[in-house]
Each structure stands twice: as C-alpha cells, then as structure tokens.
C-alpha cells in the first residue's frame, strides 16, 4: 500500500511539473464538474453540475452551466395500538441553467486567475403522496397527493482561479457575491379523489457570498 501511495504521488508530482496553461489557439473549450466535501461521506463527485467554457481568446471566455438534481424518501407510519400502516412518499426535482462570461488575467504558466459574472434560472417541483396518512400520522380514511413548484433567478459576480495539475487538466475554486430570488408557483392537493388548487404564496429574495460553483472544480481543457 505504501508503494502504491508513493507511486501515485510521483505520478501527480511529475504531471504537475509538466503541466502548463494552454492557449486559446490550442484548446478553446473546457468541461468541468465539481467535487464537494461532506463531513459524513467525505469527498463526493457532483456529476449533475457541469460547466462548459469557450475561450474566445486567452483572456475572455464564455460559459454555460447545467445543474440537475432529484431527491426522494419514503416513511412508514403505523396505527397506535393496531395493525394498520401507511406511507408518506416525498420526491423533489431541481434544475438550473446558467450563462456567464469570464476575464482571465495573465497569471503564470500554471495559474489562471479570473473575474466572472453571470446569471442563472431554475426551478423546483415537489410531490408528496400520503397513503393511509395525513402526512404525519396514520389515518385509515385519508389518501392524498400534494404537488407544488417554484422558480428562481440569480445573478453572481465573483472571482476564481484555475490551477493546471497535469497537461490540460486543472483544479479550481470560485467565490462570488450574488443576488437571488425565488417565486412560489402554487400547486394542487388531491384528497381522496377531490382536487383543489393551492395559491402561490409569493416570492422572496436574498443576497450573500457564495456561488453556484462553490467547491473544488476539476476540469479538462481541449
């Protein structure tokens, strides 16, 4: 095991020594994903978040980003003092598309610092299915489906850096200041076959430090 770790270290070190920032004449495009750190699961590859850049020249790049995600859970509920049971199923889907531009400074042979700005639009849809449940506890006389959705819009300005660790392979970080708004689009609730519309509750906004690409980025320039 020690020999394997030493060999990997030598390979990475050698690749870093040979690495050099490519020019727009040799590689106009880059494709990257993200690695986030979780205290429970360690490093996780966040493949649904992908960004592509097109380098117009060595200083200016346009970028497009796509984020997709989904979550689901199922909880069993039981009758107190009886044998009855039910379920509460929850699912959610998220999507976002972003466009922006970057201005890359001269940097060094391996380091490419930049400033960037962009915007992002997205949406979220949620569905809860209650079977013999009121959404929390067991209820033999209640079956329901609750649906809702929201949309969001955000603007980000910030700065980042790419560091080339091997030929055309880089790692990066990005931090920015952003403004975002989210709008509730309402939904429906169907209880025992009777459907009712749920009015939208309005919208909200927030500003803060962050960004759609917080985390370690790993990319390939080609």
Task: Give pLDDT, residue 20.
Answer: 83
Q: What is the spatial distance between Cα 27 and Cα 23, in angstroms, rounded to a whole number? A: 6
Cβ atoms of 47 and 31 within 8 Å: the answer is no
Task: Give pLDDT, residue 214.
Answer: 54
Query: Where are the domains positioned within the chain?
Result: 2-221
Task: Give pLDDT, residue 7.
Answer: 43
Instruction: Please count the other Cβ atoms lying within 10 Å of the Cβ belonging to residue 17.
Output: 10
Task: Give pLDDT, residue 3.
Answer: 46
Cβ atoms of 44 and 35 within 8 Å: the answer is yes
Per-residue pLDDT tens over the stretch 43-76: 555 556 889 999 999 999 999 999 888 999 999 9
Task: Give pLDDT, residue 18.
Answer: 57
* 182 bridge partner residues: 152, 204
Task: Give pLDDT, residue 206.
Answer: 86
Domain spanning 2-221, CATH class: mainly beta
Output DSSP code: residue 81. T
Q: Which helix (H) or strand (E) holds 13?
A: helix 2-18
Task: Give pLDDT, residue 29.
Answer: 97
Task: Give pLDDT, residue 17.
Answer: 54
Q: What is the spatial distance between Cα 166 and Cα 164, in angstroms, rounded to a whole number? A: 6
- pTM higher than the cut 0.85: no
In the chain, which stretches have pLDDT less than 50? 1-12, 14-16, 211-213
Task: Give pLDDT, residue 176.
Answer: 85
187 to each of 115, 153, 158, 196, 201, how far by Cα in Å?
40, 20, 35, 9, 10
């Amino acid at each position: 095991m020690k020999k394997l770790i030493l060999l990997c270290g030598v390979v990475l070190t050698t690749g870093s020594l040979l690495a050099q920032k490519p020019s727009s004449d040799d590689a106009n495009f880059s494709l990257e994903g993200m690695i986030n750190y979780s205290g429970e699961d360690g490093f996780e590859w966040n493949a649904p978040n992908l960004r592509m850049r097109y380098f117009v020249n060595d200083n200016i790049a346009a970028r497009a980003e796509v984020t997709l995600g989904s979550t689901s859970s199922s909880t069993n509920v039981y009758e107190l003092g009886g044998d009855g049971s039910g379920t509460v199923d929850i699912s959610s889907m998220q999507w976002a598309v972003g466009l922006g531009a970057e201005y890359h400074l001269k940097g060094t042979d391996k380091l490419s610092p930049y400033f960037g700005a962009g915007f992002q639009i997205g949406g979220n849809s949620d569905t809860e299915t209650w079977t013999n449940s009121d959404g929390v506890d067991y209820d033999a006389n209640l079956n329901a489906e609750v649906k809702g959705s929201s949309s969001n819009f955000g603007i980000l300005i910030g700065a980042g850096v790419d560091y080339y660790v091997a030929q055309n392979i880089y790692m990066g970080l990005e931090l920015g200041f952003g403004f975002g708004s989210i709008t509730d689009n309402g939904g429906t609730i169907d209880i025992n076959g009777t459907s009712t519309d749920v009015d939208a509750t309005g919208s909200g906004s927030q500003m803060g430090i962050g960004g759609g690409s917080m985390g370690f980025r790993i990319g390939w320039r080609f």
